[in-house]
Amino acid sequence: MANIFSGRVAVITGASSGIGLATSIEFARRGTKVVMASSNKEKLEKAAEPIIKDGYDVITVKTDVSSEEECQKLVKKAVDTYGGIDFLINNAGISMRARFADMDLEVMRRVMDINFWGTVHCTRYALKYIIERKGTIVGVSSVAGFHGLPGRTGYSASKFAMHGFLETVRIENLKSGLNVMIIAPGFTRTNIRMTALTGDGSAQGESPRKEEKMMSPEYVARWILKGIVKKKRNKIMTWDGRLTALFQRITPAMVDHAYYRAMLNEPGSPLAEK
């Protein structure tokens, strides 16, 4: 991988664990100055501590991406500390698992606030700095942003919204040298399923899937950097996802039924008859 990252500046949300932490480490190892952001200050600082001890140039900024003000402060801190921003990785996210008919609408608002509005807030304030350096904005998404997933209404809605937003930002800046990439990993070994919201807003607390069979956060992080080097616009990381993106345009009803069966067969599926 070409090292275009040395001396550059990356802002990464959701950086206290999972894909965000792995991506922070991957950037730091390539000489990037990294701004790690997360809503949990204690967890964030603990995650960053070994990276800083290894001599890498990293700072942490407590940021709840659902807050426009906190995202503005995040960008200001990055610019005040390092002079600009080259890469924004919109990774902070939350999932949910419930039938729409059984879901408190506050669950959908919470998911949209973090997954969609978090991306909007950070991108809004970082955009001019990234354009100045002809840098890259990344949205960490999912196959749920290409086809609706039953039992994941709010999550799919947030990822569809993210796609539309980032695609429009890309088109509006075609002449500026800005690169915008949407990356859609498959199921990844992170805590997102444990923290997923149920219909009443409480955390799910356990994963309905076999975590050991999932791709690693480190694998996803490497692909994020590869995609930046190659100036990718979309990177769907699984064959299932690629086939979904293809066939939902050709035989969408078939994809509907396939996802219904897949989600129905999850342990504890909200689609199961009560």
Catalytic residue numbers?
A: 155
Distance of CA 49 to the CA centre of its chain: 22
176's tokens: 């500026």
132's tokens: 């100045």
As a whole number of Å, the end-to-end CA separation of the chain is 51
Q: 């070409």: which residue's tokens?
A: 2
Q: How far apart are alpha carbons 216 and 104 in whole angstroms?
A: 32
Q: How far apart are alpha carbons 228 and 4 in whole angstroms?
A: 9
